[in-house]
Structure 1
Amino acid sequence: MNLELTGKRALITGSSAGLGEATARMLAAEGAAVVIHGRDKDRVEAVAASVRAAGATATTALGDLATDAGAADVARAATADGPIDILVNNAGFYRHLSWVEATPTEWNDTYNVNVVSGVRMIQHLVPAMRERGWGRVVTIGGGLASQPMNTHPQYNATLAARHNLAVSLARDLKGTGVTSNVVSPGAILVDSVKDLVTQIGPARGWGQTWEEIHPNAVDALIPNDQNRFGEPDEIAAAVAYLCSRHAQYVSGATIRVDGGLIRSAF
């Protein structure tokens, strides 16, 4: 299927690793010129160089989206070679804390990074999409928005806010040719997830090796119809579809990519 992304420019926030990197690579493979964003110059440059080595177009934007100045710097760098047609709000912050450990300061910091940072980029980049009559905004959310765990409440709540703001934005963009949607991942096997599960697995009786731990961790944490963790490319594929011409009639939607998650537990 031709997604017709050639000639489009996409900024993927938090794309120096994990889901953001996978998304940037897939959009680039589909013909989009991608802007790799992060705060670590070496990591950002390494991903961009790898994308270019594969024959695609990639530039970089460095900055901390948790500040007004940092977000403005990223917007300037992202639009230096032309307007942004696709904004993927992926950047986020996570700490595994209990209700006791999650202080009000932690709640404020998490909300700023996970919600307000995305708002900053929307306000910088979406007005020009509206003027041109075409654009895509994809927010990376998560199943914890609707099935929160008893732990890391400050993170769960920000996912719900991300889902909510994406739908509100879709309503505001009615009739403009710009869409706003959410991709809601389940538990995806990025490095940090695998490291955490491997670390806690032996103490929970799941086994000693990854081959032993993996199926037991799925049963205990994320029972789903596919009996496994998801892969980053599976999230990237959903994002790519929403960015394509084939998804022009999809707005204000949440696409779950979670293997048919049955429940959340930890």
Structure 2
Amino acid sequence: MDVQISGKRALVTGSSSGLGEAIARLLAAEGASVIIHGRNAERANDIAQGIRAAGGDATTATGDLATDEGADTVAAEALAGGPIDILVNNAGITSHASWSDATADDWLHIYNANVVSYTRMIRRIVPQMKALGWGRVIHIGGGLGIQPMKEQPHYNATLAARHNLSASLARELKETGITSNVVSPGAIINPMVEEWLVNAAPKFGWGTELEAIKYRAVQDLIPNDTGRFGLPEEVAGAVLYLTSRFADYVSGAVLRVDGGTIRCL
């Protein structure tokens, strides 16, 4: 099926590893020219080279989006190759501090890295989309922004802010040909999560075999209708849909990719 993004240019922030990498690889496989972003130039170049080796088109932009200067650099490097049609705001940080541990400075730090960084890229990339008369802005949110837990309150709040700003942006972009949406992942498996699960297994009595540990962890921590963790490629597929012509009538939406973890309409 042709999703008609061939030749579109896509900037995926935080794409030198993890979820962002999976998104960039899938967009490139569908014909988009992707800009790999990260704070580490070597890692970003490695991902871009891998995409090119697979027949895709990829360049890089390096900088820290938690600063205005870094965002300026990333935007300039990304736009040097031409207009950007697709912005995927994915870069950010996490924290497991509790209510009693997270200081006011912790709240400010994570809000800057996870929310203000999104607005920095919106302000630098979206104006040129208006001149194109078409564009896609996709924000990576999360289920904890909809149904927060008591732990990591400052992180949960940043996810809620991402959802809110995306809807506000959709209103701002009315009738411009640009859409703004959220992809909201549930618990996604990756090597870091697997390592945490193995280390935590003795405490929770989950056993010693990785697949059994993952299943028990889902039942105890993130019960959902699929009975498993999600995969980065599944989140990337949701992003791909929102970039496609089939999503022309979708804006201001939250697309949950969480196996049914969030129990709300």
Assess same fold via TM > 0.5: yes
In 1, the alpha carbon distance for the partners of 2:195 and 2:86 equals 31
Contact in 2 for aligned 1:222/1:262 (Cα 8 Å): no
Structure 2: segments with no counterpart, 5+ residues = none
Tell me what 2:133 maps to.
133
Q: CA deviation at 1:212?
A: 2.1
Tell me what 1:88 maps to.
88
Q: CA deviation at 1:14?
A: 0.2
Letter in 1 for 2:45: E
Superposition pairs for residues 5-16 of structure 1, below 5 Å?
A: 5-16=5-16
In 2, the alpha carbon distance for the partners of 1:112 and 1:191 equals 26
Tell me what 1:62 maps to.
62
Contact in 1 for aligned 2:85/2:134 (Cα 8 Å): yes
Contact in 2 for aligned 1:8/1:84 (Cα 8 Å): yes
Structure 1: segments with no counterpart, 5+ residues = none
Bigger CA drift: 72-81 or 198-207?
Answer: 198-207
Contact in 1 for aligned 2:10/2:34 (Cα 8 Å): yes
In 1, the alpha carbon distance for the partners of 2:150 and 2:218 equals 18
Q: CA deviation at 1:209?
A: 2.2
Letter in 1 for 2:211: E
Superposition pairs for residues 1-80 of structure 1, below 5 Å?
A: 1-80=1-80
Tell me what 2:104 maps to.
104
Q: CA deviation at 1:11?
A: 0.3
In 2, the alpha carbon distance for the partners of 1:240 and 1:198 equals 32
Please give the per-residue CA displacement for 1:14-33, whole angstroms capped at 9, x wherever unaligned: 00111100000000001000
Letter in 1 for 2:172: D
Please give the per-residue CA displacement for 1:147-188, whole angstroms capped at 9, x wherever unaligned: 111111110000000000000000000000000000000000
Please give the per-residue CA displacement for 1:215-258, whole angstroms capped at 9, x wherever unaligned: 11000111011000000000000000100111010000000000
Please give the per-residue CA displacement for 1:19-51, whole angstroms capped at 9, x wherever unaligned: 100000000001000000001111111100000
Superposition pairs for residues 162-181 of structure 1, below 5 Å?
A: 162-181=162-181
Tell me what 1:233 maps to.
233
TM-score by length of 1: 0.97
Contact in 1 for aligned 2:206/2:217 (Cα 8 Å): yes
Tell me what 1:245 maps to.
245
Please give the per-residue CA displacement for 1:72-130, whole angstroms capped at 9, x wherever unaligned: 00000001110110000000100111111111100000000000001000000001101
Identity of aligned residues (%): 61
In 2, the alpha carbon distance for the partners of 1:93 and 1:248 equals 30
Letter in 2 for 1:18: G
Mapped pair 1:191 → 2:185: no
Letter in 2 for 1:59: T
TM-score by length of 2: 0.98
Contact in 2 for aligned 1:18/1:191 (Cα 8 Å): no
Q: CA deviation at 1:262?
A: 5.0
Runs (4+) of structure 1 moved beyond 2 Å? none
Tell me what 2:160 maps to.
160
In 2, the alpha carbon distance for the partners of 1:76 and 1:178 equals 21
CA-atom RMSD in angstroms: 0.9
Letter in 1 for 2:65: L
Q: CA deviation at 1:192?
A: 2.1
Question: What is the aligned residue count?
Answer: 263
In 2, the alpha carbon distance for the partners of 1:229 and 1:219 equals 10
In 1, the alpha carbon distance for the partners of 2:28 and 2:127 equals 24
Letter in 1 for 2:53: A
Contact in 1 for aligned 2:143/2:262 (Cα 8 Å): no
In 2, the alpha carbon distance for the partners of 1:198 and 1:154 equals 26
In 2, the alpha carbon distance for the partners of 1:88 and 1:136 equals 8
